[in-house]
Amino acid sequence: MDLKGLRRSLLRWFSRSKRPLPWRRTRDPYAIWVSEMMLQQTTVATVIPYYERFLKRFPDVASLAGSEEDEVLALWSGLGYYSRARNLRHAARQILETHGGRFPKSVETAMGLKGVGRYTASAVTSMAYGTSAAVVDGNVRRVLSRLHAVSNLSESDAQAKALSLLSTRSPGAWNEAMMELGAVVCTPRSPRCEACPIASSCLGREHAERWSEGKPRRPTIPTVLEMALVEHEGKVLLTRNPEGGLMGGLYELPHGGLPRKAAPMERLRDRYRGTLRIDPEVAVTFRHAITHHRIEARVFRAHLTVRSGLAGSSFHSIPEALALPLGGLTRKALRACGLARG
C-alpha cells in the first residue's frame, strides 16, 4: 500500500469536497467538543440548529459550567439522549476547576472528563490541537474493514489500523476525512466506489458490501402512549418525569404508557383516575421514536376534576413551556394541536 499516496489523495479529496458544517469553521476545542457530543447517535442535519443555538447561549466553558441544568436541558430539548447534556455541563465544571478552563490536550487526561470516551477525546484533541490520535467511529470502522478486506475487527485491531494510517502532519484533518469518507462515499449500502479517492488502495472494493460491519439492531418495540391536554386561561398543564427513568427530569403533558424501568406502564385513565376527566375521542395522533421504542402518541383533551390541582404539576403559557426542559413528545404534541410552531 502506498501510504503517502493514500494520505495525499484522501486529504486532497476532503479539502475539495467536505461538507461546510459549522463546527469545521473553528479549532476551538470547546466548540468541537460540543459538536462531537451532539453528533453521538444523531444525524448532522438534526444537530446543526441545536449546535448553533447552544453555542450562542453558552459560547465557552465558563458559561456552560455556570449554567443551571434546566436551562441546558431546555436547549437540548428534542435532541434526545439527555445524559449527553448533563455530562457536558458536569465536564465543563471539571474543566474549569481542574484544567484551567481549557479542554485537555492529552487523550488520556480528556478521558477523565464526564461522558468523554476515547473516540471523543481523540476527535477533539486531534482537531483542536493536532494531537496524533486516531478516531474510530462506525464510519471509520467500515472504511478500515473495506480498505483491508477484513471483517469483525476488534476494538484494538481497529484502533491499531486507524493509527497506522494516521497522517501525523494533519491528524485532525485526516480524522475528519476518514469520517467524511465513510459518511458520504463508503456508505453501508451501495457505496460509491467510483467516487472514492482511495479506491485504488482498497482491497475490498470488488465486493464492498461484504465488508460492511454493523451492530445487530435491537428489535423495535411498538408502544401506544396517551397524553392529556389540559388547558386553563391560555396555559397548559405539565408534569415532570421522575429523575433516572426514560426522559428523566423533563416536562411533559400528563401521560400514560411511557416505558419505565421502575414501574409498569399505565394507561392514561388509570393513572389519572379521579383527577382528570378525559374526553373519549382522540384529538390528535402522531408518531415518535425514543431509542428502540416506536411510539404512537394519542392526545386527548382533558379537564381537572380536583380544585387542588394535580400533584407535581403546574400550568404554563406556551412561551414558558417552550423555555423549559420540555420532552420531544410534548413539543410534537403542542405542534400537532396547533399551540406551538417549529
Q: Catalytic amino acids?
A: 36
Helix (H, G, I), strand (E, B) or coil at 287: strand
Strand residues in the chain grouped as ranges (E): 221-232, 235-240, 251-252, 255-256, 276-278, 284-290, 293-304, 313-317
Residue 203, C-alpha cell as written in the block:
482491497
Helix (H) or strand (E) holding 3, with range, is helix 3-17
Are residues 37 and 49 in contact, defined by beta-carbon separation less than 8 angstroms? Answer: no
Query: How is 147-213 classified by DSSP, letter by letter?
Result: HHT--S--HHHHHHHHHHH--SSSHHHHHHHHHHHHHHTS-SSS--GGG-TTGGG-TTGGGGGGG--
d(CA 228, CA 315): 13
Contacts of 53 (CB under 8 A, 6+ apart): 75
CB atoms within 10 A of CB 215: 6
Strands 276-278 and 293-304: antiparallel
Using the 8-state DSSP alphabet, how is residue 299 labeled?
Answer: E
Question: What end-to-end distance do the CA atoms of the chain give, in Å?
Answer: 50
Q: What is the DSSP letter of 241?
A: P
Do 259 and 246 meet the contact criterion of CB atoms below 8 Å apart?
Answer: yes
Which residues are CB-neighbours of 315 under 8 A, at least 6 positions away? Answer: 232, 233, 235, 236, 237, 238
Nearest to 230 by CA among 320, 336, 302: 302
